[in-house]
Amino acid sequence: MQYEQMKSLLNSLDNPVDKLEMLMDFGAHLESVPDDAMCSEILGCSSHVEICRRGNNFYGRADSAIVSGVVAVLLAMVDGKTPEQIKNMDLVGEFYSLNLALGAARLSGLNSIISFLQNL
The predicted pLDDT at position 105 comes to 67
Contact criterion met (CB below 8 Å) for 118 and 74: no
Question: How high is the pLDDT of residue 102?
Answer: 87
pLDDT confidence of residue 101: 86
Mean pLDDT by 10 residues, the chain (120 residues): 96 96 97 96 91 97 94 97 96 94 80 94
Please tell me the predicted confidence (pLDDT) of residue 45.
82
CA distances, 23 to each of 14, 18, 55, 119 (Å):
13, 9, 26, 25
User: Cα angle at 25 between 67 and 5, to 5 degrees?
Assistant: 100
Structural domains in the chain, CATH included, are: 3-117 (3.90.1010.10)
Contacts for 34 with CB less than 8 Å, ≥ 6 apart: 52, 54, 59
